[in-house]
Amino acid sequence: MPILRIYYRVIALLAPEKALAIMLAIANLSLAGVSFLEPWLFGHVVDALAGKSHKDAWNFIGWWAVVGFAGVAASVWVSLYADRLAHRRRLAAIAQFFEHSIGLPLSFHGQHHTGRLLRIMHIGSSNLFSLWLGFFRDHLTTVLSILVMVPIALHMNWKLALLMIILMVSFAVSNAIAMRRTHKAQGEVEQLHHQISERVGDVFGNVMVVQSFSRISAEVAEIKQMVRRVLTAQYPVLRGWAWLSVANRAASTLTIVAIFALGTQLNGNGEVSVGTIVSFVGFATMLIGRMEQFAGFISTLFFQTHSLSDFFAVLDTPAVLQQEPGAADLPQQVRGEVVFDDVSFKYEVSHPALKHLSFRVPAGGTAAIVGPTGAGKTTALSLLYRAYDPSAGRITIDGIDIRSVSLQSLREHIAVVFQDPGLFYRSIADNLRIGKPDATDEELQAAAEAADAHNFIIVKPDGYATLVAERGRSLSGGERQRLSIARAMLKDAPILILDEATSALDNATEARIQRALNRLTKNRTTFVIAHRLSTVRNADIILVLKDGELVEQGRYDELIAMGGLFAELDGQGKFVADAEDSEDADLSGESGETKEREPAES
């Protein structure tokens, strides 16, 4: 993304408070006017002092004082309100980034590491903040000063002004060369920083694995190696811009010396007065200072370009799921009849994941979805709550196409219990209220009791206020899953999806959770990715998937009699017997639930 376009987008983010932004811009223009007047007044004071009467000198000094104090007052006002505006817009940018990114499809999050996204958000918003402050404090007045002071200088003496124009051209050319030569290298540096963030995020998210496999030294060594690669890539860029800074400073010094030398000669020829030389040197010094500020601004913007490009790239990523304008809500009284009508889906054009799925699950019925690994079971169910949209066909709930209703209302009517419960770094109560934000304490307890979770919660140090570690690592597998079930119970949705909800648990724990699931599925349309024999036996319909196709459907006895893929899976023992809730397991306490087995194939 071109650097000027990035800067324009940065300023455009101020639009929600454009009235205040315009007022600050006008105040900045006033400050620029003050900066023009000061050298002009200085020159007139010198000329007045060189004359016989000092009366005019005192008049100019008085005006100088008035202009100076007005400039101070305007600077205080600009600084105060510019800081407040920049802070507000920075926080608004973070909120906008967060809201947009969490609404992006799962495929986007599969391709972008959490650590990378966090870095893009924080670095990008910080760079926005610094550019906004710079815009109101320096950038606007700098550009205006350059544009106005050059014509004034030409009017005063074109020979002296020519020296400053040459300096401006040298600044512009040298900065353009530096940006062109270092742009690609700085992009590589930014990518290396992203890789460090991704690596650190991975390690922090898997500290138990790192420590148990004695990987601390190895991971630290890898981070140090990545830091060395960053410095190796960064030093040439910094060296180029350091030489540019030296060259600009040298050119500025030589220009001032040249102005004094030429001014002395012109004064000797009677072409300019001493006051004119003093005024011009004041203008020149100010203009050179502004140009050095502008060069510094270009340097800062250059180093921020890649992070800001990444920030805007996320904001520009379109949401694959499109909601029709003015889409109606799904009716509150949903019965729960679900129909897949010739549904196909592709993650990639050349690799279809689902092909022509057609089935109907009656309201309140239970559908068991079975099939070998990679058959598309989880993908098919993810289409129901619109994690993705079908590439062909349609899905209806009570005869209503789910794409014709709002996403919010659709997902309010569907509860999902995942194999990985997905707990937040919040209290147990806050995790449960994900299902129902306004749930009372009594409702929380009722749901926890129904999910067989209340007993282990109340023995925690702070009960329902106990903080759950990141990703639920402070809880056992059974505890995490029962909180997930309680959360789904609180949501009380008419449609329920159980995505391998018990496949990774030990036998005794699974038996307790199965009781909770039986309560949860009552009077709900339920989809179960099944590995438990009793589940497939009791299902109203069994859907057998293979390579993304629905190859068989029917009840247990019917499919066994057909002798097809389902009968083959059953004969191979893919469906395990019911778990037993032994007395010994109950007496062992909740802490004994940490023993988990490998997930069943899905």
- Looking at residue 595, what is its pLDDT? 37
Alpha-carbon span 44 to 156, nearest angstrom: 13
- Looking at residue 152, what is its pLDDT? 77
**Cα dihedral across residues 97, 103, 106, 108: positive or negative:** negative
Give kind and range of the element (H or E) at residue 210.
helix 207-212
For residue 573, CA distances in Å to 112, 516, 532, 544 come to 38, 25, 10, 16
Do 472 and 432 meet the contact criterion of CB atoms below 8 Å apart? Answer: no
- Looking at residue 586, what is its pLDDT? 44
For residue 567, CA distances in Å to 230, 416, 533, 599 come to 58, 28, 12, 22
The CATH class, in words, for 338-594 is alpha beta
Q: Walk across the sheet containing 351-361 and list its strands.
A: 400-401, 392-397, 338-348, 351-361, 549-554, 541-546, 366-370, 525-529, 495-498, 414-417
* DSSP state at residue 104: S
- Looking at residue 434, what is its pLDDT? 92
Amino acid letter, residue 353: A
**Cα dihedral across residues 299, 300, 301, 306: positive or negative:** positive
Do 485 and 417 meet the contact criterion of CB atoms below 8 Å apart? Answer: yes
The structure tokens listed for 27 are 């105040």
Instruction: Report, in this order, helix, strand and coil percent for the chain, each rounded to 5.
Output: 65, 10, 25
Alpha-carbon span 362 to 385, nearest angstrom: 17
Angle at alpha carbon of residue 599, lines to 597 and 602, rounded to 5°: 165
Alpha-carbon span 485 to 456, nearest angstrom: 14
Global pTM reads 0.76
Residues of the chain with pLDDT under 70: 1, 33, 35-36, 38-40, 42-44, 47, 51-55, 320, 349-350, 501-510, 574, 576-602
Amino acid letter, residue 545: L
- Looking at residue 590, what is its pLDDT? 44
Do 526 and 362 meet the contact criterion of CB atoms below 8 Å apart? Answer: no
Q: What is the largest CA-CA distance in the chain?
A: 122
Do 452 and 458 meet the contact criterion of CB atoms below 8 Å apart? Answer: no
Provide the pairing of β-strand 541-546 with 366-370: parallel
- Looking at residue 233, what is its pLDDT? 92
Do 207 and 473 meet the contact criterion of CB atoms below 8 Å apart? Answer: no
Give kind and range of the element (H or E) at residue 496.
strand 495-498
Alpha-carbon span 516 to 481, nearest angstrom: 10
Alpha-carbon span 413 to 147, nearest angstrom: 61
- Looking at residue 599, what is its pLDDT? 39
CATH number of 3-316: 1.20.1560.10
The domains of the chain are located at: 3-316, 338-594
- Looking at residue 313, what is its pLDDT? 93
